[in-house]
Amino acid sequence: MSHFTHMKTRFQNLFYLEKALNRLNIVHKQQKTSITNSTSKSSNINLLIPQSNGYDIEFSWNGQEYELVVDMSFWEQSYPIESFIDKIAQQYAGEVIIGESQKIGFQPIKYQQNMDGSNTLILERWNTEKFFDQVN
């Protein structure tokens, strides 16, 4: 008998979630779902992480965030679910910082995974306006 667990996350952006999974070499695929009610029809994109036993791990959009949906009795990953989510959350945070910083002109110059499990991220942005003001 299956008992699915729905775990809330803070993953709200599909693009950054996929980048985090890619950085961790976690194979996944998109699954488009349609929801129809009496007044409207909408579609969402969920992410599936295949497992060899056929009980896939899913990041399912609930309208606010991607929650993790999994049958705990069929968990096949090499580390516990808490560690799994922590690893993804750490990478997700790094991807959000890089992506949102680039929107305001910063560029990543170093992204390093440290031996203690932490990440080091260094960004830079040049102030070209001041330079051009001084030249003219």
**Tokens at 20, concatenated:** 């985090």
Q: In angstroms, rounded to a whole number, what is the distance separating the alpha carbons of residues 136 and 134?
A: 6
Q: What is the pLDDT of residue 130?
A: 63
Q: What is the pLDDT of residue 68?
A: 94
Which residues of the chain, if any, have pLDDT below 70? 1-2, 36-38, 40, 128, 130-136
Q: What is the pLDDT of residue 52?
A: 94
Q: In angstroms, rounded to a whole number, what is the distance separating the alpha carbons of residues 90 and 78?
A: 18
Output the pTM of the full model. Answer: 0.82
Q: What is the pLDDT of residue 102?
A: 93
